[in-house]
Amino acid sequence: MTHFLPILGVILVILIRNTRSGGTGIYRPKRAPRAFKPAPASFDAAAYGLAPREALDPTRSGPPATDRACRQSQAVADAAWAGDWRAAAAHLEAAHGDWDEHWSRFELLRSIARRDDGWLTAWREAVPSSCDAAALAADLMVHQAWAIRGSGYAHEVPAANMAKFRALLPAAIEAAQRAAHLDPRNPAPWVVMVTAARGAQYRPDRFQPLWDGLVARAPHHYEGHWQGMQYWCAKWFGSDAKMLGFAERAMDGAPAGSPLAGIYLHALTELEKRRTALPSGGAAKKRLLAVADALALVPAEEENLPTLRHLLARYLLQAGLYEAALQQFRLIGPWCGTPVWSEQGDPVEVFHAARAVAVAKSKAKPLPPELREKHKDVALHL
Protein backbone atom coordinates (compact mmCIF):
# COMPACT_ATOMS: atom_id res chain seq x y z
CA MET A 1 0.00 0.00 0.00
CA THR A 2 1.32 3.43 -0.91
CA HIS A 3 2.17 5.61 2.06
CA PHE A 4 1.70 8.98 0.37
CA LEU A 5 -1.96 9.44 1.26
CA PRO A 6 -1.65 8.16 4.84
CA ILE A 7 1.25 10.53 5.43
CA LEU A 8 -0.79 13.36 3.98
CA GLY A 9 -3.63 12.42 6.32
CA VAL A 10 -1.41 12.52 9.37
CA ILE A 11 0.00 15.89 8.28
CA LEU A 12 -3.57 17.18 8.20
CA VAL A 13 -4.14 15.68 11.65
CA ILE A 14 -1.11 17.51 13.02
CA LEU A 15 -2.29 20.77 11.48
CA ILE A 16 -5.74 20.29 13.00
CA ARG A 17 -4.34 19.47 16.43
CA ASN A 18 -1.84 22.33 16.50
CA THR A 19 -4.29 25.04 15.45
CA ARG A 20 -6.68 26.25 18.08
CA SER A 21 -8.95 27.88 15.53
CA GLY A 22 -12.10 27.42 17.41
CA GLY A 23 -13.65 23.98 17.32
CA THR A 24 -16.52 22.76 15.26
CA GLY A 25 -18.54 24.51 12.60
CA ILE A 26 -19.04 27.96 14.12
CA TYR A 27 -19.06 31.13 12.06
CA ARG A 28 -16.03 33.26 12.93
CA PRO A 29 -15.70 36.69 11.38
CA LYS A 30 -12.12 37.84 11.18
CA ARG A 31 -11.13 40.42 13.73
CA ALA A 32 -9.90 43.75 12.50
CA PRO A 33 -6.14 43.49 11.91
CA ARG A 34 -3.87 45.59 14.05
CA ALA A 35 -1.21 47.00 11.77
CA PHE A 36 2.46 46.97 12.70
CA LYS A 37 4.84 49.23 10.84
CA PRO A 38 7.49 47.20 8.99
CA ALA A 39 10.56 46.49 11.05
CA PRO A 40 13.46 48.84 10.29
CA ALA A 41 16.03 47.34 7.93
CA SER A 42 18.61 47.90 10.65
CA PHE A 43 16.74 45.71 13.18
CA ASP A 44 18.99 42.77 14.06
CA ALA A 45 16.72 40.30 15.87
CA ALA A 46 19.58 38.00 16.87
CA ALA A 47 21.18 40.86 18.79
CA TYR A 48 18.29 40.63 21.26
CA GLY A 49 18.11 36.86 21.65
CA LEU A 50 15.52 36.40 18.91
CA ALA A 51 15.52 34.13 15.87
CA PRO A 52 16.96 36.04 12.89
CA ARG A 53 14.63 37.22 10.15
CA GLU A 54 15.99 34.65 7.65
CA ALA A 55 15.17 31.77 10.04
CA LEU A 56 11.47 32.60 10.46
CA ASP A 57 9.13 29.77 9.45
CA PRO A 58 5.55 30.73 8.44
CA THR A 59 4.43 27.12 7.97
CA ARG A 60 4.11 26.24 11.65
CA SER A 61 3.12 27.83 14.96
CA GLY A 62 5.71 25.80 16.85
CA PRO A 63 8.23 23.00 16.50
CA PRO A 64 7.14 19.84 14.68
CA ALA A 65 6.18 16.69 16.52
CA THR A 66 9.01 14.33 17.31
CA ASP A 67 9.88 11.56 14.86
CA ARG A 68 8.67 9.04 17.41
CA ALA A 69 5.28 10.72 17.73
CA CYS A 70 4.92 10.95 13.95
CA ARG A 71 5.80 7.29 13.51
CA GLN A 72 3.32 6.31 16.22
CA SER A 73 0.53 8.35 14.65
CA GLN A 74 1.36 6.97 11.22
CA ALA A 75 1.27 3.39 12.51
CA VAL A 76 -2.15 3.94 14.09
CA ALA A 77 -3.47 5.49 10.86
CA ASP A 78 -2.03 2.77 8.63
CA ALA A 79 -3.49 0.02 10.78
CA ALA A 80 -6.91 1.67 10.91
CA TRP A 81 -7.09 2.30 7.18
CA ALA A 82 -6.08 -1.32 6.66
CA GLY A 83 -9.13 -2.34 8.72
CA ASP A 84 -7.42 -3.12 12.05
CA TRP A 85 -8.96 -1.09 14.91
CA ARG A 86 -6.84 -2.62 17.68
CA ALA A 87 -3.92 -0.20 17.39
CA ALA A 88 -6.31 2.77 17.63
CA ALA A 89 -8.05 1.28 20.65
CA ALA A 90 -4.75 0.60 22.40
CA HIS A 91 -3.44 4.08 21.57
CA LEU A 92 -6.45 5.68 23.24
CA GLU A 93 -6.58 3.25 26.16
CA ALA A 94 -2.94 3.98 27.00
CA ALA A 95 -3.82 7.61 27.79
CA HIS A 96 -6.67 6.86 30.21
CA GLY A 97 -6.19 9.00 33.30
CA ASP A 98 -4.30 11.74 31.45
CA TRP A 99 -7.47 13.15 29.98
CA ASP A 100 -5.94 16.01 28.00
CA GLU A 101 -3.60 13.57 26.27
CA HIS A 102 -6.52 11.20 25.85
CA TRP A 103 -8.46 13.93 24.04
CA SER A 104 -5.47 14.75 21.85
CA ARG A 105 -5.37 11.12 20.76
CA PHE A 106 -9.15 11.14 20.42
CA GLU A 107 -8.81 14.01 17.93
CA LEU A 108 -6.21 12.03 15.99
CA LEU A 109 -8.61 9.09 15.69
CA ARG A 110 -11.42 11.43 14.69
CA SER A 111 -9.33 12.72 11.80
CA ILE A 112 -8.47 9.19 10.73
CA ALA A 113 -12.12 8.16 10.91
CA ARG A 114 -13.30 11.16 8.91
CA ARG A 115 -11.35 9.79 5.97
CA ASP A 116 -12.49 6.18 6.44
CA ASP A 117 -14.51 4.97 9.44
CA GLY A 118 -14.84 1.31 8.54
CA TRP A 119 -12.37 0.40 11.27
CA LEU A 120 -14.48 2.29 13.84
CA THR A 121 -17.58 0.36 12.81
CA ALA A 122 -15.62 -2.88 13.19
CA TRP A 123 -14.36 -1.77 16.62
CA ARG A 124 -17.87 -1.01 17.84
CA GLU A 125 -19.17 -4.35 16.58
CA ALA A 126 -16.28 -6.26 18.17
CA VAL A 127 -16.37 -4.42 21.51
CA PRO A 128 -19.82 -2.92 22.04
CA SER A 129 -18.85 -2.11 25.63
CA SER A 130 -16.07 0.30 24.55
CA CYS A 131 -16.79 3.81 25.81
CA ASP A 132 -13.98 5.22 23.65
CA ALA A 133 -15.41 3.78 20.45
CA ALA A 134 -18.95 4.88 21.27
CA ALA A 135 -17.79 8.39 22.20
CA LEU A 136 -15.80 8.66 18.99
CA ALA A 137 -18.86 7.66 16.95
CA ALA A 138 -20.94 10.32 18.76
CA ASP A 139 -18.24 12.91 18.17
CA LEU A 140 -18.24 12.14 14.44
CA MET A 141 -21.98 12.78 14.40
CA VAL A 142 -21.37 16.27 15.83
CA HIS A 143 -18.83 17.03 13.12
CA GLN A 144 -21.08 15.59 10.45
CA ALA A 145 -23.91 17.82 11.65
CA TRP A 146 -21.78 20.96 11.39
CA ALA A 147 -20.44 19.90 8.00
CA ILE A 148 -24.02 19.68 6.75
CA ARG A 149 -24.99 23.01 8.26
CA GLY A 150 -21.89 24.87 7.12
CA SER A 151 -20.31 27.91 8.72
CA GLY A 152 -22.66 30.65 7.57
CA TYR A 153 -25.40 32.46 9.43
CA ALA A 154 -28.62 30.52 10.05
CA HIS A 155 -30.60 32.40 7.39
CA GLU A 156 -28.00 31.37 4.79
CA VAL A 157 -28.39 27.63 5.43
CA PRO A 158 -30.78 25.71 3.13
CA ALA A 159 -33.86 24.49 5.01
CA ALA A 160 -33.14 20.82 4.25
CA ASN A 161 -29.62 21.13 5.63
CA MET A 162 -30.82 22.91 8.74
CA ALA A 163 -33.38 20.15 9.35
CA LYS A 164 -30.67 17.48 9.13
CA PHE A 165 -28.42 19.52 11.41
CA ARG A 166 -31.13 19.93 14.03
CA ALA A 167 -31.88 16.21 13.96
CA LEU A 168 -28.26 15.07 14.11
CA LEU A 169 -27.08 17.07 17.13
CA PRO A 170 -29.70 15.76 19.60
CA ALA A 171 -28.98 12.27 18.27
CA ALA A 172 -25.27 12.84 18.88
CA ILE A 173 -25.96 13.91 22.47
CA GLU A 174 -28.07 10.79 23.02
CA ALA A 175 -25.26 8.65 21.57
CA ALA A 176 -22.75 10.36 23.87
CA GLN A 177 -25.03 9.77 26.85
CA ARG A 178 -25.10 6.05 26.03
CA ALA A 179 -21.32 6.10 25.72
CA ALA A 180 -21.01 7.74 29.14
CA HIS A 181 -22.81 4.80 30.76
CA LEU A 182 -20.15 2.42 29.42
CA ASP A 183 -17.37 3.98 31.51
CA PRO A 184 -18.36 6.45 34.26
CA ARG A 185 -14.74 7.63 34.59
CA ASN A 186 -14.21 8.68 30.98
CA PRO A 187 -14.84 12.39 30.28
CA ALA A 188 -14.77 12.07 26.47
CA PRO A 189 -18.54 11.56 26.07
CA TRP A 190 -19.12 14.60 28.27
CA VAL A 191 -16.83 16.75 26.12
CA VAL A 192 -18.87 15.64 23.11
CA MET A 193 -22.12 16.60 24.87
CA VAL A 194 -20.77 19.99 25.96
CA THR A 195 -19.59 20.62 22.39
CA ALA A 196 -22.95 19.67 20.86
CA ALA A 197 -25.05 21.62 23.37
CA ARG A 198 -24.60 25.00 21.65
CA GLY A 199 -25.85 23.87 18.26
CA ALA A 200 -28.60 21.84 19.91
CA GLN A 201 -29.81 25.10 21.50
CA TYR A 202 -29.48 23.89 25.08
CA ARG A 203 -30.42 26.64 27.48
CA PRO A 204 -28.25 27.08 30.60
CA ASP A 205 -30.47 24.87 32.76
CA ARG A 206 -29.91 21.96 30.35
CA PHE A 207 -26.25 22.76 29.75
CA GLN A 208 -25.24 22.91 33.41
CA PRO A 209 -25.71 19.17 34.14
CA LEU A 210 -23.51 18.37 31.13
CA TRP A 211 -20.83 20.72 32.39
CA ASP A 212 -21.06 19.32 35.90
CA GLY A 213 -20.66 15.81 34.51
CA LEU A 214 -17.53 16.81 32.62
CA VAL A 215 -15.72 18.59 35.44
CA ALA A 216 -16.63 15.82 37.89
CA ARG A 217 -14.46 13.54 35.74
CA ALA A 218 -11.82 15.98 34.47
CA PRO A 219 -11.87 19.27 36.40
CA HIS A 220 -9.21 20.94 34.25
CA HIS A 221 -9.91 19.47 30.82
CA TYR A 222 -8.52 21.94 28.27
CA GLU A 223 -10.80 21.16 25.33
CA GLY A 224 -13.80 20.90 27.62
CA HIS A 225 -13.10 24.37 29.00
CA TRP A 226 -12.59 25.78 25.52
CA GLN A 227 -16.00 24.46 24.55
CA GLY A 228 -17.49 25.78 27.80
CA MET A 229 -16.05 29.22 27.10
CA GLN A 230 -17.70 29.14 23.69
CA TYR A 231 -21.04 28.28 25.26
CA TRP A 232 -20.87 31.31 27.57
CA CYS A 233 -19.78 33.82 24.93
CA ALA A 234 -22.20 36.48 23.73
CA LYS A 235 -22.87 34.89 20.35
CA TRP A 236 -24.32 31.82 22.05
CA PHE A 237 -25.90 31.70 25.52
CA GLY A 238 -23.88 34.10 27.62
CA SER A 239 -22.32 37.54 27.48
CA ASP A 240 -18.88 39.10 27.37
CA ALA A 241 -18.88 39.30 31.17
CA LYS A 242 -19.98 35.68 31.64
CA MET A 243 -17.38 34.44 29.17
CA LEU A 244 -14.57 36.39 30.80
CA GLY A 245 -15.67 35.27 34.24
CA PHE A 246 -15.68 31.66 33.10
CA ALA A 247 -12.18 32.00 31.62
CA GLU A 248 -10.81 33.71 34.72
CA ARG A 249 -12.22 31.03 37.02
CA ALA A 250 -10.73 28.31 34.82
CA MET A 251 -7.35 30.03 34.97
CA ASP A 252 -7.44 30.68 38.69
CA GLY A 253 -8.36 27.09 39.51
CA ALA A 254 -5.84 25.44 37.19
CA PRO A 255 -3.01 23.39 38.70
CA ALA A 256 0.62 24.24 37.98
CA GLY A 257 1.68 22.90 34.60
CA SER A 258 -1.80 23.11 33.07
CA PRO A 259 -2.27 25.17 29.87
CA LEU A 260 -5.74 26.20 31.09
CA ALA A 261 -4.66 29.81 31.66
CA GLY A 262 -4.67 30.03 27.87
CA ILE A 263 -8.46 29.93 27.86
CA TYR A 264 -8.33 33.54 29.04
CA LEU A 265 -6.37 34.45 25.89
CA HIS A 266 -9.01 32.79 23.72
CA ALA A 267 -11.66 34.78 25.58
CA LEU A 268 -9.82 37.98 24.63
CA THR A 269 -9.83 36.81 21.02
CA GLU A 270 -13.60 36.34 21.19
CA LEU A 271 -13.95 39.92 22.43
CA GLU A 272 -11.88 41.17 19.51
CA LYS A 273 -14.03 39.30 17.02
CA ARG A 274 -17.03 41.18 18.40
CA ARG A 275 -15.13 44.48 18.16
CA THR A 276 -15.41 44.72 21.95
CA ALA A 277 -12.82 46.62 23.96
CA LEU A 278 -10.37 44.39 25.81
CA PRO A 279 -9.95 44.65 29.58
CA SER A 280 -7.51 47.42 30.48
CA GLY A 281 -5.87 48.90 33.52
CA GLY A 282 -3.73 47.46 36.25
CA ALA A 283 -5.84 44.38 36.95
CA ALA A 284 -5.89 43.42 33.26
CA LYS A 285 -2.11 43.76 33.01
CA LYS A 286 -1.67 41.72 36.17
CA ARG A 287 -3.89 39.02 34.65
CA LEU A 288 -1.76 38.84 31.49
CA LEU A 289 1.44 38.57 33.51
CA ALA A 290 -0.18 35.78 35.51
CA VAL A 291 -0.91 33.97 32.24
CA ALA A 292 2.77 34.29 31.35
CA ASP A 293 3.75 32.85 34.74
CA ALA A 294 1.34 29.95 34.28
CA LEU A 295 2.54 29.12 30.77
CA ALA A 296 6.14 29.12 32.00
CA LEU A 297 5.28 25.97 33.97
CA VAL A 298 3.61 24.14 31.07
CA PRO A 299 5.70 21.29 29.59
CA ALA A 300 7.34 22.23 26.30
CA GLU A 301 5.69 19.31 24.50
CA GLU A 302 2.15 20.51 25.29
CA GLU A 303 0.57 20.91 21.85
CA ASN A 304 -1.43 24.05 22.69
CA LEU A 305 1.56 25.94 24.06
CA PRO A 306 2.94 27.48 20.83
CA THR A 307 -0.38 29.02 19.83
CA LEU A 308 -0.90 30.33 23.35
CA ARG A 309 2.51 31.97 23.38
CA HIS A 310 1.74 33.77 20.10
CA LEU A 311 -1.55 35.05 21.51
CA LEU A 312 0.10 36.07 24.76
CA ALA A 313 2.90 37.96 22.97
CA ARG A 314 0.36 39.96 20.99
CA TYR A 315 -1.83 40.81 23.98
CA LEU A 316 1.19 41.76 26.06
CA LEU A 317 2.24 44.13 23.27
CA GLN A 318 -1.23 45.65 23.12
CA ALA A 319 -1.18 46.13 26.88
CA GLY A 320 2.17 47.91 26.76
CA LEU A 321 3.96 45.12 28.63
CA TYR A 322 6.87 45.17 26.24
CA GLU A 323 9.51 43.36 28.31
CA ALA A 324 7.14 40.47 28.95
CA ALA A 325 6.21 40.39 25.25
CA LEU A 326 9.88 40.25 24.29
CA GLN A 327 10.38 37.26 26.57
CA GLN A 328 7.52 35.44 24.83
CA PHE A 329 9.04 36.18 21.42
CA ARG A 330 12.32 34.67 22.62
CA LEU A 331 10.48 31.55 23.78
CA ILE A 332 8.51 31.27 20.52
CA GLY A 333 11.67 31.06 18.42
CA PRO A 334 11.40 31.13 14.61
CA TRP A 335 7.85 29.84 14.27
CA CYS A 336 5.25 32.34 13.05
CA GLY A 337 2.69 30.27 11.12
CA THR A 338 -0.46 31.24 13.02
CA PRO A 339 -3.50 33.44 12.33
CA VAL A 340 -2.31 35.67 15.15
CA TRP A 341 0.07 37.15 12.55
CA SER A 342 -1.19 35.91 9.18
CA GLU A 343 -4.57 37.66 9.59
CA GLN A 344 -2.67 40.94 9.46
CA GLY A 345 -0.65 40.19 6.33
CA ASP A 346 2.54 38.28 5.58
CA PRO A 347 3.12 36.39 8.85
CA VAL A 348 6.89 36.68 8.59
CA GLU A 349 6.79 40.45 8.14
CA VAL A 350 4.09 41.03 10.75
CA PHE A 351 5.80 38.78 13.32
CA HIS A 352 9.17 40.37 12.65
CA ALA A 353 7.64 43.85 12.98
CA ALA A 354 5.92 42.94 16.25
CA ARG A 355 9.23 41.73 17.66
CA ALA A 356 10.87 45.00 16.62
CA VAL A 357 8.20 46.91 18.54
CA ALA A 358 8.82 44.79 21.65
CA VAL A 359 12.55 45.46 21.46
CA ALA A 360 12.22 49.20 20.84
CA LYS A 361 9.53 49.84 23.42
CA SER A 362 11.18 47.71 26.12
CA LYS A 363 14.48 49.53 25.54
CA ALA A 364 16.24 46.17 25.55
CA LYS A 365 20.02 46.15 25.37
CA PRO A 366 21.77 44.09 22.67
CA LEU A 367 23.44 40.88 23.72
CA PRO A 368 27.23 40.49 23.61
CA PRO A 369 28.37 39.40 20.11
CA GLU A 370 29.24 35.85 21.19
CA LEU A 371 25.73 35.27 22.57
CA ARG A 372 24.16 36.72 19.41
CA GLU A 373 25.93 34.15 17.26
CA LYS A 374 24.88 31.36 19.61
CA HIS A 375 21.21 32.33 19.35
CA LYS A 376 21.50 32.73 15.60
CA ASP A 377 23.09 29.32 15.12
CA VAL A 378 20.44 27.62 17.25
CA ALA A 379 17.58 29.28 15.37
CA LEU A 380 19.01 28.49 11.94
CA HIS A 381 19.33 24.79 12.82
CA LEU A 382 15.88 24.24 14.32
Summarize pLDDT for 218-273 with one digit per residue, the tens. 999 999 999 999 999 999 999 999 999 999 999 999 999 999 999 999 999 999 99
Q: Is residue 163 part of a domain?
A: yes
Q: Binning pLDDT at 50, 70 and 90, where does residue 363 land?
A: very high
For residue 11, pLDDT over 80 is answered with no
Please give the C-alpha separations between residue 85 and each of 13, 39, 124, 177, 186, in angstroms, as whole numbers: 18, 52, 9, 23, 20
Rounded Cα gap, residues 185 and 95, in angstroms: 13
Rounded Cα gap, residues 366 and 95, in angstroms: 45
Q: Is residue 111 part of a domain?
A: yes
For residue 274, pLDDT over 80 is answered with yes
Q: Is residue 10 part of a domain?
A: no
Q: Is residue 223 part of a domain?
A: no
What confidence tens digit (pLDDT) does each residue in 369-382 have? 877 766 665 555 55
Q: Is residue 382 part of a domain?
A: no
Rounded Cα gap, residues 106 and 110, in angstroms: 6
What confidence tens digit (pLDDT) does each residue in 125-174 have? 999 999 999 999 999 999 999 999 987 777 888 999 999 999 999 999 99
User: Domain tally for the chain?
Assistant: 1
Q: Is residue 315 part of a domain?
A: no
- The amino acid sitting at 32 is A
Q: Is residue 320 part of a domain?
A: no
Per-residue confidence (pLDDT) for residue 6, from 0 to 100? 39
Pairwise pLDDT comparison (285 vs 11), residue with the higher score: 285
Question: What is the extent of the structural domain holding 128?
Answer: 65-195
Average pLDDT over residues 323-328: 98
Average pLDDT, the chain: 90
Q: Is residue 215 part of a domain?
A: no
What confidence tens digit (pLDDT) does each residue in 164-219 have? 999 999 999 999 999 999 999 999 999 999 999 999 999 999 999 999 999 999 99
